[in-house]
Amino acid sequence: MFDRFIIFLKKLAIISSHPIQYNAPLFALLAKEPIIELMVFYTWGEAALGPKYDPDFGKEIEWDIPLLAGYKYTFLKNTSNEPGSHHFKGIINPSLNQEIEAWGPDIVWVWGWAFNSHLKAMRYFKGKVPVWFRGDSTLLDEPKGFSLKKSLRRIFLKWVYKHIDKAFYVGTHNKNYYLVHGLRSNQLVEAPHAIDNDRFAIDNELLQQERNQFKAKIGINESDMVLLYAGKLEPRKNPLFLEDLTKNLKSAHIKLLVAGNGPLKADMVSKLKNDNRVLFSDFINQKWMPNLYKIADFLILPSKSETWGLALNEALASGTPIIVSNKCGGAIDIINSSNGFLLNIDNPDFKALESWIERFDKEEFKKKIDYFFEKFCYDNIVQQVICNI
């Protein structure tokens, strides 16, 4: 029996830039599978660990949840003159392909191609072992009509994706992106974006006490209906939309809680300081985020551009319905009549939104939330991996 087990054991090498709070729990689950031997190759290098200055938040950020527990990993030496995941030449690992080959993978799974080493690995291993890919790009930001730049980019991306055998797509817009760039339907595997649902769903008396203390400190009353914006205050996230929102939502019982930092914060505080319905909070780290979502009656995500919007997953897992821009890639897959409101961010219908808020059925929301937990979960991704190895 042991010999038969060895035959079916698959060595899965994952290439990822750096530890991410959304990926670590999935890697740990994959490592538990008896037919998978997992090794994660982190290409940014050990410099990716510890606190890092985030220019959008305007401060040093260090996530307060474990990112390296439960799976095997190694950090590659990054020789880039400007290390980071914000540009193509920010990740250069001369030894990456050799170290992976020495480990002897049956499958190489690349997470994101837009780094020097990642693209080289895709080209190197194509035809030697199956090359899988994970990314969440969409066509939502692509300009309409013909342009030479768009045509050249299309040609280039078709060449990039010729170097993969399968792509694990996160949702409808991501799937369409792959099809446009030359992948066939039989190369695409549905594996919807997910988070650690259990961590966000958990609740107890202590957490409730912490929420009550936070609400009392910041000025939220029991009778208030709380709309939450949580994230970076930067142009792509479109937080200045909240000024129009407050002007058009007349109810005195609505409180808008803005949690986060960024380059637009001073401007927002200046514009909204005279509206006592608007409350500001500093950056909230990961460990307390589930409690923040539970304070809110609704999460609002008004982004102008968002490949997915994992805050949607976090809010729903916390039991909080969502108001989301049509420019968020995940909206088309997550939003339904019982859990959220789809906002045309270029031409918002504030009357329709206010009416929806007033008649929102919380009991119906609770009854139908199981669909979200069944589809948008790590277990679903793990099962898709097992079915394809």
pLDDT digits (tens, 9 = 90+) for 205-225: 999 999 999 999 999 999 999
Q: Which of 191-200, 269-278, 357-366 has the highest mean pLDDT?
A: 191-200
Q: Which of 338, 313, 316, 317 is nearest to 328 (CA)?
A: 313
Q: Please state, in angstroms and rounded to a whole number, the distance separating the CA atoms of residues 268 and 115.
A: 35
Among 51-60, 132-141, 151-160, 256-265, the least confident range = 51-60
Q: What is the DSSP letter of 328?
A: B
Confidence check: pLDDT of 120 > 60: yes
Q: Mean pLDDT throughout 130-137? A: 98
CB proximity list for 333: less than 8 A, separation 6 or greater: 171, 172, 192
DSSP-based three-state secondary structure for 283: coil
Give the tens place of pLDDT for each residue, 253-266. 899 999 999 999 99
Q: Are 225 and 250 contacting, i.e. CB atoms less than 8 angstroms apart?
A: no
Q: Are 132 and 166 contacting, i.e. CB atoms less than 8 angstroms apart?
A: yes
Q: Which of 72, 122, 71 is nearest to 96 (CA)?
A: 122
Q: Which of 101-110, 249-258, 269-278, 349-358 has the highest mean pLDDT?
A: 101-110
Q: Please state, in angstroms and rounded to a whole number, the distance separating the CA atoms of residues 282 and 165.
A: 44
CA distances from 186 to 110, 137, 160, 166, 355 (A): 19, 19, 18, 8, 43
pLDDT band of residue 270 (cuts 50, 70, 90) is: very high
pLDDT of residue 5: 45
Q: Residue 320's CB: how many other CB atoms inside 10 A?
A: 24
| Helices (H), ranges, 253-377 | 265-272, 289-295, 310-317, 331-334, 350-359, 362-368, 370-375
Q: Mean pLDDT throughout 22-46? A: 97
pLDDT of residue 54: 65
Q: Please state, in angstroms and rounded to a whole number, the distance separating the CA atoms of residues 317 and 244.
A: 28
DSSP-based three-state secondary structure for 19: coil
pLDDT band of residue 273 (cuts 50, 70, 90) is: confident
- Rounded to whole angstroms, the maximal C-alpha distance in the chain is 72
CB proximity list for 184: less than 8 A, separation 6 or greater: none
Q: Residue 141's CB: how many other CB atoms inside 10 A?
A: 13
Q: Mean pLDDT throughout 303-309? A: 96
The separation between the first and the last C-alpha atoms of the chain, rounded to the nearest angstrom, is: 20
Confidence check: pLDDT of 200 > 50: yes
Q: What is the DSSP letter of 241?
A: H
Q: Are 213 and 183 contacting, i.e. CB atoms less than 8 angstroms apart?
A: no
pLDDT of residue 4: 47
Q: What is the mean pLDDT of the chain?
A: 93
Q: Are 315 and 321 contacting, i.e. CB atoms less than 8 angstroms apart?
A: yes
Q: Which of 58, 69, 59, 74 is nearest to 15 (CA)?
A: 74
Count of all residues that appear for the chain in the document: 389
Give the tens place of pLDDT for each residue, 69-102. 999 999 999 999 999 999 999 999 999 999 999 9
